[in-house]
Structure 1
Amino acid sequence: MDSWVLWLLFLLSVVQYPQPMGDVLDEVMRLQMELCAKFQEQERIWLEWEVEQLVLMQSGASWRDLLWSALQPWQVWPFAGLLVLFLAVWFMWRKRSCEAEISGEEEKEKKKEEEEEDETWAYDLRWLLEERIQWPVQDLQTGCNRTMALINNFTTVLRRSLSGTFYPVLQEAIGFGSAFEGWTAREEEIVYQVLVPLTPPLGHIFHLERDTDQQKPGRNFRVRVELECRCPREYQGMNMLCFQHHPDVIRRRTRQPNLLDSLCTDSYLNVKKTVHWFCALVGATWRRLPQSRSWHLVLLPSKRSCNLRLTNGQETFQVKVLFGMQRHISDIFISSRYRGAQTPSTMWPETYAVAETKFFRHMARQVPQDSSHLKCLQLLACVLARKDFSIHSIKTIIMHLLHTVPVSQWHRRHFLLQLSDALEHLRLSLEKKHLEHFIVGNQRLPEEIRLPPDVQRAKPPNLFHGLAQDPAAHSQAMQAYLDLRHRLARVLAYGHC
């Protein structure tokens, strides 16, 4: 609008008639020049605006052209494919990232749940083993130490009393059996078993003869006693009488009977006579022991062992003393232990109890500190009825498992698993009517357990041999196994053996 007004004023100034010269002319010229200057400024502004609009229009056209050229049909599909591929890769990466985050969180949650479950399981099992099941409360280690101190005091006093006589020489006692292995079968009074090895006195020799009677179970021996010849030609420079050739002279001079006259039957050492002799010595020397000041001693009747009961008004325990001879330099002994009603008094059955106790002590150093093997053995022995199986059969199964299952698997958390393995081993053995002895014929025992060559090479006896010979006994044993499982389930449920 302003431009049209300026143009109109300019035209009027041109077409008007001439004005007088002078000051008027100067004023007119000044106004014309100002109008021209404003007109030019207005033109410049107008041109700049048009240029800007033109630039903007050209710029928009170039983008449209560029976009159109990019979207030509032969170029659209590669571009679209790249775009789709990019989006697919991004989507997959994002999905995997989310899945990794979710799986990581799930794994953490699962691990946390497993840890909580393990803690709950460990607590439940500890509650079952320590609080639910009523285990015997006696301190076995204290009882074992007390027993060994008592018997060693006895043997020390008796050795001094028997010096100069021709009775067997008492060696250091050896503890064996369940108490010395760290477990006990029942809650009543515990019996601590010890073996007192015997060696021949001066002038005597022991010969161990294997019994060839196959009708008797196990490996049995007899101890033939001979007088030793010590004639001067055999012992140069020694002025002594010969026990073999001058027994009457020695008997008259020493006023002591030789071993053949006192404890033997037909030149064989008699178990019953030996036990009676030792029990008489115990009764006669009891007052000389320091334990007599605080304990009361009672000798219990027995034919093949010396059974002692000691009480102090608060505690009571029993000690069963067996006698035996060592076979070679090994952990195998022949002993006075009872083996059936028809066991002759001159028969000394071979025992592997000392080797078994050494095996349990060896395993105690190998298994975890809170191992479950003794709890497993003790629980099975606790619910075992005497008529079902011998406790030694259950003990043999546990020893076989200890020898084959990795020691790390005997952790307390695996208690029920090992209990199940023991029951399964028992079931299979009953079905096969075969359970091998653990010590005899076992050539993979720890080196510290020493076996005589004939024991190591022998064929392991079958502890269930009788079941194979008697079908009725086998049926009863299978039923007893089912009863055992039933009693075990009740113990785990109610906590009472």
Structure 2
Amino acid sequence: MDSWVFWFLLLQSVIQYPQHVGDGLDEVTHLRMEERAKFQEQKKIQLEWEVEQLVLTQSSTSWGHLLWPALQPWQVWPFAGFLVLLLAAWFMRRKRSHEAESTDEEEKEKEDEEEEEEETWSYDLRWLLDERIQWPVQDLQTGCNRTMALIDNFTSVIGRALTGTFYPVLQQAIGFGSAFEGWTSREEEVVYRVLIPLTPPLGHTFHVERDTDQQKPGRNFRVRVELECSCPRHHQGANPLCFLHHTDVVRRRTRQPNLLDSLCTGFYLDVQKTVLWFCALVRASWRRLPQSRSWHLVLLGSTRSCNLRLNNDQESFLVKVLFGVRRHTSDIFITSRTRGARTPSTMWPETYAIAETKFFRYMARRVPQDSSHLRCLQLLACVLARKDFSIHSVKTIIMRLLNTIPVTRWHRRYFLLQLSDALEQLRLSLEEKHLEHFILGNQRLPEEIRLPQDVKRAKPPNLFHGLVQDPATHALAMQAYLDLHHRLARVLAYGHF
């Protein structure tokens, strides 16, 4: 049995060791406590067997390999402190429980004791997760609801103002990112990200073209805008103006520029022009929104997104609005997000964030109500230094575990086990310098997450490709992993990030 199992059984044996019966108790109580001791011994034997089975079923993962690096001499005391705190909490709870038992009836006592034996470990873990660790205080659900209400009001008011024009049509916004997935990092201000899909206006069509420049990272696209022919032979029974063949006539009669004249560079939709256009509409329509009566709006400068900061006397929140074009009828979009410092204004990088958020929502309906997957992700994100490696790498590992481990194993009582699995997968990925993208090329996603065929069949890119090319960066990443272990042990011991 590995080292972690020894520590676990030692802790559990202390927790379940029967208390001595004082001389002042009656014979009935003596008998009852003896029966309880036998029951506890049976529970202990069963627990030992279950722990051994868990260890055996971990193919390449063991608690000894995972957590023992965190128990090196420079980290022993934080972990020991965590054990002492856990034991102290248990003894205090046991003392309060015995004081209460002396005043209750025998039948109620027996029921409470049986429930207590079953819930002792889960209570101690709940105490660790909910009371000991000082999690970031954020009401994410309220923030998400408030954000979606704001953006929906904007698109509704702006949509009415754009009636009869030839600007892109704003579709219903989609929330995505960590806040809409239910977790956040403590070190950063919560940013509520939304994507507004764009569709072509009357008389126009969008054609998504893949950028063939291999020098640029990732998959990038451009949106070619074309005027649509509406000649009578194509529209039986009608005699509309043809945008393609009578461009000047349409422009003169409607007094509106077509999309090629307004938001395009050449024949391609321009990100920067689109962002400036939307920000101007936001500024002009703000006073028509009900939120303007209780919030102050500040538009923050950005060339590829519209960033809104809203504040009042009590609080503030930040909303980042991106724009995108849906690929076919899938959950994959090409968006206005940046791809480095010199992203061309006509480049629309492909994003998988909407599909990832949809995956988290899908799993939220399947895992136990008291699931630990978001706690694992948030704990790792909070102790992860920003410059070590991206939080998205840790998120990718959690998504892969969610997609492979049975959903029942994500109950809160398995929190430490899932946390160790995530750490082990991160260690192996760093050592091998290889971590595959979760969405691209994944053939095992739930059916409700819709992917274009080229995304399904794509070769998954290696998120740690940079470690292969730069040994110095790889060495820093491995050291960062050891630091992550150290910070994680301190959090478990002291409760502070």
- Category of TM-score, reference length = shorter chain: 0.7 to 0.9
CA distance in 2, matches of 1:373, 1:325: 31
In structure 2, the residue matched to 1:83 is none
In structure 1, the residue matched to 2:278 is 278
CA distance in 2, matches of 1:391, 1:378: 10
Matching residue's letter, 2:407: V
Does 1:395 find its partner at 2:425? no
Q: Deviations over 1:176-208 (max 9, x none)?
A: 111111111126531111100000011111010
In structure 1, the residue matched to 2:11 is none
Q: 1:346 to 1:289 in 2, by over 3 A?
A: same
Please list, as runs of the form range in 1=range in 2, the aligned pairs for 1:280-359 lying within 5 A after superposition.
280-359=280-359
In structure 2, the residue matched to 1:154 is 154
Please list, as runs of the form range in 1=range in 2, the aligned pairs for 1:114-153 lying within 5 A after superposition.
119-153=119-153
Aligned-residue offset at 1:233: 2.0
- Quick check: 1:331–1:355 contact (8 Å CA) kept in 2? yes
Aligned-residue offset at 1:109: 3.4
**Consecutive aligned runs of 4 or more in structure 1 exceeding 3 Å deviation:** 103-107, 111-120
Q: Deviations over 1:152-178 (max 9, x none)?
A: 111011110001111100000011111
Q: 1:250 to 1:487 in 2, by over 3 A?
A: same
Matching residue's letter, 2:368: P
Q: Classify the secondary structure of the residue corresponding to 2:349.
A: strand
Question: Which one has a bigger Cα radius of gyration?
Answer: 1
Q: Deviations over 1:78-130 (max 9, x none)?
A: xxxxxxxxxxxxxxxxxxxxxxxxx9997523135568676333222212211
Does 1:109 find its partner at 2:76? no
Give percent identity, aligned residues only: 81
Q: 1:279 to 1:105 in 2, by over 3 A?
A: closer
In structure 2, the residue matched to 1:241 is 241
CA distance in 2, matches of 1:112, 1:489: 29
- Quick check: 1:189–1:316 contact (8 Å CA) kept in 2? no
In structure 1, the residue matched to 2:190 is 190
- Quick check: 1:140–1:182 contact (8 Å CA) kept in 2? yes
CA distance in 2, matches of 1:452, 1:382: 34
CA distance in 2, matches of 1:237, 1:371: 60
Q: Compute the TM-score of the two structures, normalised by the length of structure 1.
A: 0.77
- Quick check: 1:135–1:187 contact (8 Å CA) kept in 2? no
Q: 1:105 to 1:446 in 2, by over 3 A?
A: same
Matching residue's letter, 1:137: V
In structure 2, the residue matched to 1:380 is 380
- Quick check: 1:440–1:456 contact (8 Å CA) kept in 2? yes
- What are structure 2's unaligned runs of at least 5 residues? 1-33, 48-113
Q: Classify the secondary structure of the residue corresponding to 1:143.
A: helix
Deviates more, 1:290-299 or 1:126-135: 126-135
Matching residue's letter, 1:227: L
Matching residue's letter, 2:454: D
Q: Deviations over 1:129-170 (max 9, x none)?
A: 112211122211111111111101110111100011111000
What number of residue pairs does the alignment pair up?
A: 395
Q: Deviations over 1:455-482 (max 9, x none)?
A: 1111111111111111111111111111
Matching residue's letter, 1:449: I
Q: Classify the secondary structure of the residue corresponding to 2:330.
A: coil
Q: Deviations over 1:223-257 (max 9, x none)?
A: 01111111222223221221111111111111111
Aligned-residue offset at 1:287: 0.4
In structure 1, the residue matched to 2:170 is 170
Q: Compute the TM-score of the two structures, normalised by the length of structure 2.
A: 0.77
In structure 1, the residue matched to 2:486 is 486
Matching residue's letter, 1:136: P
What's the C-alpha RMSD, in Å, of the aligned pairs?
A: 1.7
- Quick check: 1:335–1:349 contact (8 Å CA) kept in 2? yes
